[in-house]
Structure 1
Amino acid sequence: MTTDAIARLRRFSRAVTAEVGALDDSFLGRGRPLGAARVLNAIGHGQTDLGGLREDLQLDSGLMSRLLRGLEEEGLVSTSPHPADARRRVVALTRAGRREFEAYEALSDAQAAAILGRAPDPEPLLAAMDLIASVLGRDRIRIEEADPRGAAARRCLEAYYAELARRFARGFDVALSRDPDAQDMTRPRGAFLVALSDGLPLGCVGLKGSGGALAEIKRLWVSPAARGLGLGRRLMTAAEEAARDLSIRTLRLDTHSALPEALALYRGTGWVEIGRFNDDPYPDHFFEKSL
């Protein structure tokens, strides 16, 4: 790594630290530092298991205990034994804690809007932020089964369709494609998987089944912000694991020559090219894999 690259990264780190007030004793003017505010924020967004909270925030147990104790002394949170496992503890916001969480949310939204307002065009800035967050949080990207009709799935699929429309020489119209029914990508027939980074959908893949031993892989997509991080391979591995769990023994997929990254992924992970097996007007390459 060159000294210029290191200097530029350190400049960026200083700019972000100063802008968000990471070193302020009173983050966003609410009377407590950033660490305590992050704990309050995570609880407010639904992370109530103490072990999971510590893992998500990457805090050691000593610091986590001190931050929680301070919030408890302020009357903002309460802790109690887990209802199903007395060895674990759960944490919740009090009524005062909920008000404080909402105040932070409003201030954080206003701060974000002000920062974006300085950019002549915020989209390149947002794209750069997504890329940085994906790289820094690479090890925390998780893959979950999701409803193919849900918000996270729709966000991925809309981005996927838009990209196909840009990359295919004659565009892409999902109404002309063999678009799978949602029920074919939910258990017990199939599954739909979404990759999430701090709540942001970064990729998806569908497993389209019919209840038999043969199924198709559909709608593999990875956000530009996460490409090169091995996420496509992780999604495909997760889809294969879901297929095995559903007693599916053979997988098929189709793709297009305008997507060389997909072709390279399939050829490098054990997929065998076969003849056409459907009448979809868009694909020109067809693959199969035995599990």
Structure 2
Amino acid sequence: MSTTPEVAGVLRRFNRTYTQRIGALDESFLGLGLPLSSARLVFEIGVDGAGVGDLRSRLGLDSGYLSRLLRTLESRGLVTVGPDPADGRRRTASLTPSGGRLLERLEQRSDDLAHRLVAPLTERQRARLAEALGTADLLVRAATVSLDAVDPAGRRAAAAMEHYFAELDRRFPGGFDPGEPTPPDSFTVATSDGRPVACGGVQQIGAGVAEVKRMWVDPEWRGAGLGSRLLRHLEGVAADAGHLVVRLDTNGTLSEAIAMYERAGYTAIERYNDNPYAELFFEKALD
């Protein structure tokens, strides 16, 4: 796109400005005696807790580099790493009492720095900054989200579908009972910072005809284009499997999903299944 160089330039300039002003280039981040990478790891362990594998996925770190960071934190008495009591094959990291005190100082100094950065601004400027940074954060995360093919009957698919089923249960007037769902032929999970933020499956329902099933986008991610990106991806999965047409159904309460399908070129058709929760049915020919 013609705007790409301009957008890239703005993003690079912001990165240079921000990393300098928050002290990301300092050997001792916020004067805590740790570089930013180690301080961030302390934060992730203390705030969310995690298995070592989850930390690697959440932070996008190479396993060797993560191991070195953890060993350094262990040697300083800030972190302990050991077997997961629930699964001896996994390792978990937790903060020691010293690590907990360090996290408290990290939180306090981070807050203090943020307040100092915005102190010269007016209330209106602070509101503009908060809105702009919130939008930038969402769009950058949406641009870097990972769309992964997973085992339709596996743990990652089940974890994502739990969110999907829970939202339907909240939004449908009479609730939602998933029963015992049959896994689709293929399933995709969109992951950001190690967490599922969207998902969807593809199932053959006839000769050359596929159905998009269980498509869900985290409400906090709506408006960032992730749903449209996921839908295009699932259409590609269907096309790669040799299908010529893709269909889907939805409930009338899911107005944002309906609008997205219509923007994507889907047209309304007659009912094609016995899904008791479905009220609208759509179809699209694949290129």
* TM-score computed with the length of structure 1 as normaliser: 0.59
Percent of paired sites with the same residue: 40
Correspondence for 2:4:
none
Correspondence for 1:154:
158
1:264 and 2:259 matched: yes
Which residue of the other structure, out of 182, 191, 216, is the alignment partner of 2:186? 191
Relative to structure 1, the CA distance from residue 277 to residue 96 in structure 2 (aligned partners, 3 Å threshold; closer, same or farther) is: closer
Aligned length: 214
Whether contact under 8 Å (2:38, 2:73) holds in the other structure is no
Relative to structure 1, the CA distance from residue 95 to residue 136 in structure 2 (aligned partners, 3 Å threshold; closer, same or farther) is: closer
Structure 1 range deviating more: 131-140 or 155-164: 131-140
Deviations 1:197-224 (A, max 9, x none): 1211110011112684221110111001
1:142 and 2:146 matched: yes
1:99 and 2:71 matched: yes
Q: What 5-or-longer segments of structure 2 have no aligned partner?
A: 1-17, 45-51, 80-92, 108-133
Correspondence for 1:255:
250
| RMSD of Structure 2 on Structure 1 (CA) | 4.2
Which residue of the other structure, out of 13, 17, 35, is the alignment partner of 1:33? 35
Whether contact under 8 Å (2:142, 2:225) holds in the other structure is no
Per-residue deviation at 1:166? 1.5
Per-residue deviation at 1:257? 0.4
Correspondence for 1:70:
none
Matches within 5 A, 1:164-203: 164-175=168-179, 180-182=181-183, 185=184, 190-203=185-198
Per-residue deviation at 1:225? 1.6
Deviations 1:92-133 (A, max 9, x none): 359765523665553498438x97xxxxxxxxxxxxxx9985
Whether contact under 8 Å (1:193, 1:205) holds in the other structure is yes
Per-residue deviation at 1:165? 1.2
Relative to structure 1, the CA distance from residue 269 to residue 93 in structure 2 (aligned partners, 3 Å threshold; closer, same or farther) is: closer
Partner Cα distance (2:196, 2:173) in 1: 27
Partner Cα distance (1:210, 1:256) in 2: 19
Partner Cα distance (1:94, 1:201) in 2: 22
Partner Cα distance (1:237, 1:217) in 2: 11
- Whichever residue aligns with residue 35 of structure 2, its letter is P
- Whichever residue aligns with residue 206 of structure 1, its letter is G
1:215 and 2:201 matched: no
Per-residue deviation at 1:195? 0.9
**SS of 1:252's equivalent?**
strand
Whether contact under 8 Å (1:131, 1:225) holds in the other structure is no
Per-residue deviation at 1:27? 5.1
Relative to structure 1, the CA distance from residue 222 to residue 210 in structure 2 (aligned partners, 3 Å threshold; closer, same or farther) is: same
Whether contact under 8 Å (2:160, 2:199) holds in the other structure is yes
Structure 1 range deviating more: 158-167 or 103-112: 103-112
1:273 and 2:268 matched: yes
Relative to structure 1, the CA distance from residue 225 to residue 152 in structure 2 (aligned partners, 3 Å threshold; closer, same or farther) is: farther
Relative to structure 1, the CA distance from residue 263 to residue 106 in structure 2 (aligned partners, 3 Å threshold; closer, same or farther) is: same
Whether contact under 8 Å (2:248, 2:282) holds in the other structure is yes
Correspondence for 1:235:
230
Whether contact under 8 Å (1:134, 1:197) holds in the other structure is no
Matches within 5 A, 1:32-71: 32-35=34-37
Whether contact under 8 Å (2:245, 2:284) holds in the other structure is yes
Relative to structure 1, the CA distance from residue 255 to residue 30 in structure 2 (aligned partners, 3 Å threshold; closer, same or farther) is: same
Partner Cα distance (2:67, 2:29) in 1: 21
